[in-house]
Amino acid sequence: QPLKDILRLAYNGFVRRRRMTAETTGNDPGVAGASAGAEVRWLGGRFWGVSESIVGSLTPRIGGETEIQTVDLIRSAQDAQSEDSEPDYEGLPQGASTSTHMLAGAVAGIMEHCLMFPIDCVKTRMQSLQPDPAARYRNVMDALRRIVATEGIWRPLRGLNATAIGAGPAHALYFASYEKLKKTLSDVIHPGANSHLANGTAGCVATLLHDAVMNPAEVVKQRMQMYNSPYRGVLDCVRAVWQKEGPTAFYRSYTTQLTMNVPFQALHFMTYEYLQELLNPHRQYNPSSHMLSGALAGAIAAAATTPLDVCKTLLNTQESLALGSLTSGKGAHRHISGLAHAFRTVYRLGGLRGFFKGVQARVIYQMPSTAISWSVYEFFKYGLTKHQHNKRRTQQMEAEM
């Protein structure tokens, strides 16, 4: 109960200046939609500008349409309430839900990874077990400052194209499978109500599909992010890894990635859905609640799974200095393979503290990343659902005429 009170107080302070106008107008659904449009406009800047420009082609004048519908609703509340009501974006139109989730998820994934990519670059470097003396950083800001000063302003973005190519289809599968499984399992486990078990299970299964697509992109991205990376570009990296280590190198960390991401996503989704029950119990479109819930869920899951992320980075990068320091009776190790080998290597070279290298950068990266991901996803889901709802209403009106 104290945790719920603290979260409610934090949330109330966060959204006091942007409270839904529907609260003072009888919770009118049309006004709630207009307020949601105002919330989106408030978020502003390049992030929402890009989002609204994409959805604009599908749902032109979202805010304006909602305001017009509000007037219509007031005029004809008695005889046309069912026609003018705001669509339930959590219950998407039958037959269109999968494509809507996939499109919303793809855009959310690309924006999440691209906007936070410089912090991800810092995280990768700070997780290095045997960093070059020139790549030893005190904190995230010190790392960004030194990378830009010594390697150029574009250096923190190296490997961004590989991430964007992988993030689109990976997140499309991720969100679509999650939503589908969450609904199916919830109907079986706890009909008519939210089920944390269903949320966690759906998140785990969605992760299997996501990582199968994203893992090769992660390998290329992290190798290009390392200090003194020898690769000229994405294609050069792919070609070199394929020729020197074979195609299995792109999935060397897949089991470790799953071992990390299954508990990460289970924690992430269960925390997000739990916070949504507290902060947004009616499940309306509310950007503030989506951002806060996503940020807190990402921070908790990121901190808890940092040791596995350190092992994943080691397997992906095959850090040369770490390999050189590992000697056996037959000489240096050629490759680090498998989670157990990675765990032993991290412990041998860094001790227990080695498992939490880069935890600060990881949490700083994940908090805005998950906030962005959920906000963009819910925004696109809302916009696309509204577009489909309006289209069906138009078709019904034409049929009646």
Domain-embedded: residue 313: yes
Looking at residue 398, what is its pLDDT? 87
Confidence of residue 58 (pLDDT cuts 50, 70, 90): very low
Most confident of the ranges 49-63, 352-366, 367-381 = 352-366
pLDDT in tens, 326-369: 654 444 556 788 888 889 889 988 899 999 998 999 999 889 88
Over range 44-62, report the average pLDDT: 41
The region of weakest confidence among 29-33, 241-245, 361-365 is 29-33
Looking at residue 15, what is its pLDDT? 47
Task: Give the chain's domain count.
Answer: 1
Over range 160-165, report the average pLDDT: 92
Domain-embedded: residue 140: yes
Domain-embedded: residue 85: no
Average pLDDT score over the chain: 76
Confidence of residue 236 (pLDDT cuts 50, 70, 90): very high
Looking at residue 323, what is its pLDDT? 65
Domain-embedded: residue 74: no
Domain-embedded: residue 92: no
Over range 120-145, report the average pLDDT: 89
- Residue 353, domain CATH: 1.50.40.10
Instruction: Say which residue the tokens 């305001």 belong to.
Output: 67
Looking at residue 372, what is its pLDDT? 83
Looking at residue 329, what is its pLDDT? 43
Q: Cα 15–271–203 angle (5° rounding)? A: 125
Over range 16-39, report the average pLDDT: 46
Domain-embedded: residue 70: no
Burial class (CB in 10 A: 0-12, 13-18, 19+), 66: buried
Q: Which structural domain range is residue 223 located in? A: 98-394
Q: Which residues contact 11 (CB under 8 A, 6 or more apart)?
A: 278, 279, 288, 289, 292
pLDDT in tens, 201-229: 888 888 889 999 999 999 999 999 999 89
CB atoms within 10 A of CB 46: 8
CA distances to 58, 167, 292, 356 from 152, in Å: 39, 25, 34, 28
Looking at residue 73, what is its pLDDT? 39
Looking at residue 333, what is its pLDDT? 56
Q: Does residue 10 surpass a pLDDT of 80?
A: no
Looking at residue 273, what is its pLDDT? 87
Domain-embedded: residue 1: no
How distant is the alpha carbon of residue 84 from its chain centre? 33
pLDDT in tens, 288-312: 888 999 999 999 999 999 999 999 9
Q: Does residue 389 surpass a pLDDT of 90?
A: no
CA–CA distance, 214 with 293 (Å, rounded to integer)? 24
- Inter-residue contact 238 to 221 (CB < 8 Å): no
- 7 compared with 145, residue with greater pLDDT: 145
Confidence of residue 388 (pLDDT cuts 50, 70, 90): confident
Helix ranges restricted to H, 190-305: 196-225, 234-245, 254-279, 287-304
- Inter-residue contact 361 to 126 (CB < 8 Å): yes
- 34 compared with 340, residue with greater pLDDT: 340
CA–CA distance, 166 with 162 (Å, rounded to integer)? 6
CB atoms within 10 A of CB 325: 15
Confidence of residue 52 (pLDDT cuts 50, 70, 90): very low
pLDDT exceeding 90 applies to what percent of the chain? 27
Looking at residue 79, what is its pLDDT? 41
Domain-embedded: residue 57: no
DSSP 3-state assignment of 313? helix
Looking at residue 106, what is its pLDDT? 87
Most confident of the ranges 9-13, 15-19, 185-189 = 185-189
